[in-house]
Chain A
Amino acid sequence: MSDQALGIAFTILGAAFAAGMAGIGSAIGIGYPARAAAGVIAEDPSKFGSLFLLVVLPGTQGFYGFVAAFLIIGKIGQVTTLTQGIQFLFAGLPIAFTGLISAIHQGKVSAAGVGLVAKRSKEVIKGVILAAMVETYAVLGLLISFFLINAVKLV
């Protein structure tokens, strides 16, 4: 296999990691508040609106991963060496890991927020803010991935 083909394969792996792991995190993360919310809705269907906010919140990491993957995919055509491919793989890792783990933990915080809404539905924004605290680090991961992707030297 040529160097270029290997490089492209690694670039694809980088994109796959970014989108895949952040996506897994979001899927698990949404699972927690969604289950809790279903119980609250059984008691009071009118709370669906404010619960929805909390449920979708851990979904953003999946999109951070998607954006990073999309940026990497845009560079596939320009990859000529194995080193570049491995660089793109590593560049995708920050958002892959921060996305995976922060989404799961954000889901747990959101699920606690669902409990908050069950008792005091007016305080939903406070629950959302608490959950957003966790997300900060996925945002930072995406930023670093973004800068790393741009830092890879293509001829």
Chain B
Amino acid sequence: MSIIEKIREITLINERELFVFLDFIENNIEIEQAVDLSFSTEKTSFYTGWIRKKDKNKVLSLQEKFKNTKINEIEPEEDEEPPILLENNPIFKPFEIIINLYGVPKYFEIDPTPYVSVFFALFFGLCLTDAGYGILFVILSIFMFIKMKGSKNFALLILFMGIFTIIAGALFNGWFGDLPSYLGVDSFFSKIAIFGDPMKSSSGAMNFFRLALLLGVVQVIFGLFIKLFDNLKRKNYPVALLDTLPWLVIVTSLIIMLLSSETAVSMQLVDSPIFPAGISRILVWLIIPASIIIVLFSARTQKSWGFRIFMGVLNLTIVNGITSFMGDLLSYIRLMALGLVTSGIGVAINRIVFQLGSIPVFGIVIIIVGLIFGHTFNMGINILGGFVHTLRLQYVEFFSKFYEGGGRPFEELKENHKYINLID
């Protein structure tokens, strides 16, 4: 027996112990690395680090346990940036991953987790728009709650996404594509679908289109509101009153003006103007001063007035101006497109499978196997697309309104177990 075979044999017998040991070693390495950051002489060593305020007493109590230690508080220096640890209540906690992927906020910046969470789950639901898939999500999350130990955050995230997918699917009549119509129970499901079926009726498609745009308007304006209130709270009045408020006024007024005009009707955005046509004449008097503020003050760091106004005009129009707001709003139509792709492929799978299924005897087998494979596949590619595009809407369209990020994440010195689960 060669030595390698011997090692392999011993490894196999003691696999369990080895993995536990590996976990232990890896945790020790992390502690060693932290120790390496200290300054030490032969007899003393000196550590610095950040702790959360609420852990202060816990850390100070260590002094009593270890008589030869002394703990001092150090005030942060002027330009020192404290590291960031997000803290949200358990409902929003799963969505912190979205923020961590983008970059945690700066120390005095707002934590957007609660705001992102609802939009994220809702948009993801609309990208799938299939209640059948949503039910599978919910079942999967329940399964994960029962089976998985440790963090439940991921299971919770899937649960929320599943619930919104069910709602969106039910409203737009998506149940594994159009499966109910093959089973002869579609009259019941189409009664729930108050928005209509976007694949089968153009009113359903238009409703989806309008809903996607409406959500875009809501999220963009909401983002501006966050920026306004956040800056007011931080007493950052120039940004709040000169950069944010005018845009809030302009964007809201322009949307109201559009919805009060016949143009909106001919674009099929609304069936009849929502606001009286006379409202435009009032709103113009809001838009003009707001535009003047932007032209005069948006480039207020520039020294020469000529260049300042030139930049102001650009800011109003093409650089982060009206055109970019328009682009942001139109970008939300992707929600509709992705919803359509899910139902389109779902409908195609059903038709192909049921056509093949007309063969006697084997037909039923083909139908069952085909439906399982087809819909698993459809769900897979659309989860990918839905997730990516939902993230993009948060990062590009929503965050650009109020959020910068780029803080330093708080790296906790804690036990991190890869192969074992501690149950207390």
Q: Do A and B bind each other?
A: yes
Q: Interface of A with B (CB < 8 Å)?
A: 53, 56-57, 59-60, 63-64, 66-67, 70-71, 125-126, 128-129, 132-133, 135-136, 139-140, 142-143, 146-147, 150
Q: How far is B6's CA from A64's CA once the two chains are assembled, in angstroms?
A: 55
Indicate if the CB atoms of B341 and A67 lie closer than 8 Å: yes
Q: A71-B344, A125-B101 known; 12 other A-B pairs, CB under 8 Å?
A: A59-B381, A66-B345, A67-B348, A129-B388, A132-B391, A139-B333, A140-B333, A140-B334, A142-B340, A142-B341, A147-B205, A150-B205
- B389 at interface (Cβ–Cβ under 8 A)? yes
Complex: chain A residue closest to B395, CB-CB: A129
B residues near A70, Cβ cutoff 8 Å: 344, 347-348
Complex: chain B residue closest to A62, CB-CB: B381
Indicate if the CB atoms of B385 and A60 lie closer than 8 Å: yes
Supposing A70-B348, A132-B389 touch, asked if A57 and B384 sit within 8 A by C-beta, the answer is: yes
Please give the distance in Å from B412's CB to the nearest CB on chain A. Answer: 16
Please give the distance in Å from B264's CB to the nearest CB on chain A. Answer: 17
- B16 at interface (Cβ–Cβ under 8 A)? no
- B371 at interface (Cβ–Cβ under 8 A)? no
Indicate if the CB atoms of A64 and B347 lie closer than 8 Å: no
Q: How far is B384's CA from A53's CA once the two chains are assembled, in angstroms?
A: 8
Q: Please report whether the interface of chain A is mostly helix, strand, loop or mixed according to DSSP.
A: helix
Indicate if the CB atoms of A139 and B337 lie closer than 8 Å: yes
Please give the distance in Å from A51's CB to the nearest CB on chain B. Answer: 13
- Name the residue among B202, B331, B389 with the largest chain A CB count within 10 angstroms: B389
- B338 at interface (Cβ–Cβ under 8 A)? yes
Supposing A66-B345, A126-B101 touch, asked if A146 and B340 sit within 8 A by C-beta, the answer is: yes
Supposing A63-B381, A136-B331, A150-B202 touch, asked if A143 and B337 sit within 8 A by C-beta, the answer is: yes
B residues near A64, Cβ cutoff 8 Å: 337, 341
A-contact bits for B296-331, CB 8 A (1 contact / 0 none): 000000000000000000000000000000000001
Indicate if the CB atoms of A132 and B392 lie closer than 8 Å: yes
Within 8 A of A (CB), among B377-396: 381, 384-385, 388-389, 391-392, 395-396
Please give the distance in Å from A59's CB to the nearest CB on chain B. Answer: 7
Residue from B205, B381, B385, B395 in contact with A146 in the complex, judged by beta carbons closer than 8 Å: B205
A-B contact pairs, 16 of them (CB 8 A): A57-B384, A67-B340, A67-B341, A67-B345, A70-B347, A126-B101, A129-B391, A132-B389, A132-B392, A133-B392, A133-B396, A135-B388, A136-B331, A140-B337, A143-B337, A150-B202
Within 8 A of A (CB), among B202-246: 202, 205
Complex: chain A residue closest to B205, CB-CB: A150
Indicate if the CB atoms of B202 and A56 lie closer than 8 Å: no
